[in-house]
Amino acid sequence: MDSSAQGTTDSEAAAQERPAGDDSDFEVFDDAVAGDARDPYPELAAARKASPVQRLEMSNMPHDDAKPVFFVYRYDDVLAVLRDGETYSSGQIIELIMGDVMGKHIMLGMDDPEHRRYRALVSTAFGQKAIVRWEAQLVEPIANSLIDRFSDRGRADLVREFTFPYPTQVIAGMLGLPREDYRQFQRWSIEILSVFTRREAAIAASAEVKGYLARILGDRRREPRDDLISDLARAELDGERLSDEEIFSFLRLLLPAGVETTYRSTGNLLFSLLSRPGQLAAVHADRSLIAQAIEETVRYEAPLLNITRIATRDTVLGGVDIPAGSTVMPMLAAANRDESRWDDPDQFDIFRNARPSVAWGQGPHICLGMHLARVEMRTALTLLLDRLPGLRLDPDGDDPHIRGQVFRSPTSLPVLFG
């Protein structure tokens, strides 16, 4: 980005001013993690073997015409759902669940051809050249600035002090927000990400974000800068441009898509390696293994365990009849541990023969930001290993573990180094 754009890069001075978040911020966010489900995988494996496509009647719903819900557990069946956007719609269910928070133009809630047009317009901001720019000018400086805060201490909690603030600051920097607004942006992000537990607060925060971004978008339309909002304002395809409302919806989508999943995936990567010193040592000695470690992490511990679709017509999946209008839930975590696709799927092994998982999605809704997420994860692990010699879990730490029934990540990573 252009160093003349206030609050975007200029990094060493900015690093000292960027807030890392505080415990009260984290506690509000962590409260949204339901339960302490440490290992949902045996139950998912049993369901995959017993009923690969499981029908659940919704007879307790207050509607006479309540449709059944279908849980999909096998890799091949999940892949079929993700790739067939005509039969399994994203639009209806996302609009019902997220429309009042994310807006009417949320990309996750679109079907083709609207989705194809919208994705083509916004994808220019996530091309290879843009990712290289974000990595050099934002991702590395932000990661280093956070490590600076504890690198001489000999101990840290990598969740509260690193993985939690890290992606929020990256997204804020990509948007070109002033440094003094980073803390408020993080708090808005937390409120929106807590939509399923504190919906009214999420709706209020969404409205505040829209008002805040409207002023910035107006400024960028008049005087473009080298940031994501300017890129979206001038994105054009076949003479079409994004409306203001489409831009607002996309930017609000960046909070769960670009903040929460990267926060969780980075924590899962660090925990998976730190709890397996042999594999951590292999990565430390050969950094080319980092790419394999990232893909194995999102297979083994996907940040999001399931997603939702609506059947647009009567269909058959895995030999099971699915009526039009039914909710279909691909269980990504079950698919990623399908023994018909991976040997010893319940083992974390960065040396296994790599095969694509469904953690990043597949088909028309494959994750637009997956390349940026990989860069953030790779940068985080590289710099932590480079700058914190002898990095290891603190044996006196308070039982660090990955948890969650829908979203999964560790809520603490106490480490020692030096």
Q: Concatenated DSSP letters for 345-411?
A: TTS--TTSPP---STT--GGG--TTHHHHHHHHHHHHHHHHHHSTT-EE-TTSS---EE-SSB-EES
Residue 398 has pLDDT above 80, yes or no: yes
pLDDT value of position 261: 87
More confident residue, 102 or 283: 283
Mean pLDDT of 312-334: 96
Mean pLDDT of 62-84: 87
Amino acid at 133: R
Confidence of residue 11 (pLDDT cuts 50, 70, 90): very low
Rounded to the nearest 10 degrees, how much is the dihedral formed by the CA atoms of 15, 162, 228, 106?
-150
* CA 12 to chain centroid: 27
Report d(CA 118, CA 314) in Å as an integer: 28
Please tell me which of 27-36, 97-106, 136-145 the model is most confident about, judged by mean pLDDT.
Answer: 136-145
Residue 104 has pLDDT above 70, yes or no: no
* pLDDT tens, position by position, 340-361: 999 999 999 999 998 999 999 8
pLDDT value of position 178: 87
Mean pLDDT of 402-411: 90
Confidence of residue 31 (pLDDT cuts 50, 70, 90): low
DSSP label at residue 21: -
Q: How many helices (H) and strands (E) does the chain have?
A: 19, 14
Residue 248 has pLDDT above 50, yes or no: yes
Enumerate the β-bridge partners of residue 317: 320
| Cα angle for residues 375, 377, 382 (degrees, 5° grid) | 95
pLDDT value of position 366: 76
pLDDT value of position 256: 66
pLDDT value of position 105: 57
* CA 396 to chain centroid: 30
Taking domain 25-416, whether its CATH number is 3.90.1010.10 is answered by no
Mean pLDDT of 383-406: 95
Confidence of residue 167 (pLDDT cuts 50, 70, 90): very high
H/E run at residue 309: strand 309-311
pLDDT value of position 191: 82
Q: Where are the beta strands (DSSP E) in 87-234?
A: 88-89, 155-157
Radius of gyration of the chain (CA): 21
pLDDT value of position 121: 66
Confidence of residue 14 (pLDDT cuts 50, 70, 90): very low
More confident residue, 59 or 173: 173
Please tell me which of 93-97, 282-286, 400-404 the model is most confident about, judged by mean pLDDT.
Answer: 282-286
Tokens 């049993």 sit at which residue?
46
Report d(CA 164, CA 261) in Å as an integer: 11
pLDDT value of position 93: 55
Contact partners, residue 158, CB within 8 Å, separation at least 6? 267, 270, 384, 413, 415
Contact 182, 145 (CB under 8 A): no
Residue 196 has pLDDT above 90, yes or no: no
pLDDT value of position 5: 36
CB atoms within 10 A of CB 233: 21
pLDDT value of position 251: 82
Mean pLDDT of 187-198: 77
Least confident of 119-128, 194-203, 214-223, 321-330: 119-128
CB atoms within 10 A of CB 159: 23
* pLDDT tens, position by position, 274-302: 999 999 999 999 999 999 999 999 999 99
Q: Please give the structure tokens belonging to residue 43.
A: 């139950």
Residue 125 has pLDDT above 60, yes or no: yes
Contact 171, 259 (CB under 8 A): yes
**CA neighbor of 106 nearest in space, from 251, 307, 308, 303:** 251
Report d(CA 115, CA 108) in Å as an integer: 8
pLDDT value of position 408: 92
Report d(CA 333, CA 358) in Å as an integer: 8
Percent of the chain whose pLDDT exceeds 70 = 81
Contact partners, residue 92, CB within 8 Å, separation at least 6? 310
Amino acid at 2: D
* pLDDT tens, position by position, 33-47: 545 789 999 999 999
pLDDT value of position 10: 39
pLDDT value of position 188: 83
Report d(CA 141, CA 147) in Å as an integer: 10
Residue 194 has pLDDT above 70, yes or no: yes
Domain borders along the chain are 25-416
Q: What is the mean pLDDT of the chain?
A: 84
